[in-house]
Structure 1
Amino acid sequence: MPAPRAVMGRTRAGLLRGAADAFAATGVRATTMQAVAAAAGVAKGTLYNHFRTKDDVVRALLSAELRRLTEAATGRPPVEALVLLADEVADHPVLRTMAVTDPADLVALLGAGPERWAEVGAALAEVLQTDADGAGTTGRWLLGLVLQPADPPARRRQARRLAAVLPPPG
């Protein structure tokens, strides 16, 4: 029998996958907690056992996506990591939907507080083997791809150019 913590973790992961599917389909604002629960294949009560509000779901999904992207990019050469991150951010289904359905909410999400950007900057610095300034510049470029994704060949060229000029860590 799996440990209760493992079951809770799998349930939470399933809820976040359902949330991503629901948000990608209709945007964050138009998606209800009932729609998230339905997309995850659980009762609404199960969703509320893990998340009190839709904002809590969004924050948890953002954190999970940051972890996923960090893990996917870790261990790759900086240029490969940056190309992967650029493609993931530019083509992210939830971000693409939000750009159309919830642009003001997307801008607010991208302008998250300093503590979130410190976390993102630290992850970028580690993954890309660069200093804080290089991570900050890269983060701003990746944010730009959320709003204007560019075509894949262009963003990959840009990623390679940016990776070539990133300074080494400190």
Structure 2
Amino acid sequence: MARSRAAILDGARAAVEANGTKITMAQVAARGGVAKATLYNHFRAREDVLAALLLDEIDRLVAAVWPLELSRALTAAAVAVSEHPLLEALGGQDTTTLAVLARVDVRTPGWARVAAAVEQLLRRAGRAGTPTVLRWLSSYIIAPADEVDIAADVAVLLAGLPPARSQP
């Protein structure tokens, strides 16, 4: 079951890179090497596939930056967002979806996961300011930058973040 889901998400990833979010279930199944029946056993609609793909991409990014110290984690996350092939594909094909993704709304599953990870990274470093970091990180969805500029932005960002409040 997990292998089928992974194949489906890989297929969805390839389909989105090629076609933006205007993918079909047939494209996802074909690119994932699974039968359409298998795809429909996991996901009822294209929107469900896209939502699962987004959460999978977030989980991958969080796992990649989690072991890093705060400055390096933020830099790596912003670089990953700036250079992400799915976001690049959307930038050329579906700017409306890109704008929706950049809207920080922690009530959505994706931004809730990002917020929880940022909160933990900041807490581990003795800092606060999750909403500020989320808005900063979302800016790279719309306006990608290179690693040198991002590292400079991180230095400014960290200088402005308050220390974490001590627990009573």
Q: Same fold (TM over 0.5)?
A: yes
The TM-score, its normalising length taken from structure 2, stands at: 0.86
* Unpaired stretches in structure 2, ≥5 consecutive residues: none
Matches of 1:169 and 1:39 in 2, distance apart?
46
The TM-score, its normalising length taken from structure 1, stands at: 0.85
In structure 2, relative to structure 1, the CA distance for the partners of 1:164 and 1:10 (3 Å cut) is farther
Cα offsets for 1:96-123 (capped at 9, x unmatched): 1112211112222333644123432222
CA drift at 1:92: 0.8
Cα offsets for 1:38-81 (capped at 9, x unmatched): 11111222111111111101111111122111111112110110
The structure 1 segments of at least 4 consecutive aligned residues displaced by more than 3 Å after TM superposition are: none
Q: What does 1:135-154 correspond to in 2, within 5 Å?
A: 135-154=130-149
Identical columns (%): 40
AA matched with 1:139: L
1:96 aligns with 2:96: no
User: Could you tell me whether the CA contact under 8 Å between 1:86 and 1:156 is conserved in 2?
Assistant: no
1:59 aligns with 2:54: no
AA matched with 1:108: V
Cα offsets for 1:81-140 (capped at 9, x unmatched): 011101111111111111221111222233364412343222211123332xx2211111
Q: What is the aligned length?
A: 160
User: Could you tell me whether the CA contact under 8 Å between 2:62 and 2:114 is conserved in 1?
Assistant: no
Matches of 2:105 and 2:152 in 1, distance apart?
30
1:35 aligns with 2:30: no
Matches of 1:88 and 1:21 in 2, distance apart?
17
Paired position in structure 2 for 1:127: 121
